[in-house]
Amino acid sequence: MSGKSTFLKSVGLSLYLAHVGFPVPARQMKTSIFHGLITSINLADNINQGYSHFYSEVKRVKEAAIKVRNKGRMMIVFDELFRGTNIKDASEASSMIIGALAKIPDSLFLISTHIVEIADDLKSEPTVIFRCFETIPEGDRAVYDYKLKNGVSKERLGMQIVRQEGIMEILEGKVQ
């Protein structure tokens, strides 16, 4: 809701448009030339191949790893890396993969996550830069400014949104 996925889609689409010679939807854009663009946004499972959501994510990360090693300068965009598994494995795998990607020169990686704890694992990586979107609380509502800021978000809004939607009141029969 704060705009992470939309931001990643916008950057990926703008880069693609620039690379094929089309105008980009921005006041200005400065970019390097990349040998390829790989995105993992709204990745689904693949029942025909027997892939769970998580396995599809792992296969996509593997594909990106192979291409970045074989093709060189790549732009890789991952939205919510490893969200298809439990939080412990997602955290550990995200830290491990992002740490390894951080050591690959000449490529650019944009990766979003809700697992803010991995920032502690990655803060010593000089090429990892943390950005977030801020949410401004207004009473019992959250207001989003959609502006990219430095740092890691400290906000925890999940339960606020669950409460705001009145799910427990519905389940407890207090409202219909």
Domains in the chain and their CATH numbers?
Answer: 4-125 (3.40.50.300), 130-176 (no CATH)
Work out the pLDDT band at 18, boundaries 50, 70, 90: very high
Position 16 pLDDT exceeds 80: yes
Q: How many other C-beta atoms are found inside a 10 Å radius of the C-beta of residue 127?
A: 11
Work out the pLDDT band at 50, boundaries 50, 70, 90: confident
Q: What pLDDT sits at residue 109? A: 96
The residue behind tokens 């400065």 is 30
Q: What pLDDT sits at residue 33? A: 93
Q: Taking the CA atoms of the chain, what radius of gyration do you get in angstroms? A: 18
Give 175's Cβ-side CA count (13 Å radius). 6
Work out the pLDDT band at 1, boundaries 50, 70, 90: low
Which pair of structure tokens corresponds to residue 94?
Answer: 């995200």
Q: Which of 21-25, 44-48, 149-153 has the lowest mean pLDDT?
A: 44-48
Task: Look at residues 142, 125, 120 and name the one whose alpha carbon lies nearest to residue 133.
Answer: 142
Q: What pLDDT sits at residue 71? A: 85
Q: What pLDDT sits at residue 24? A: 94
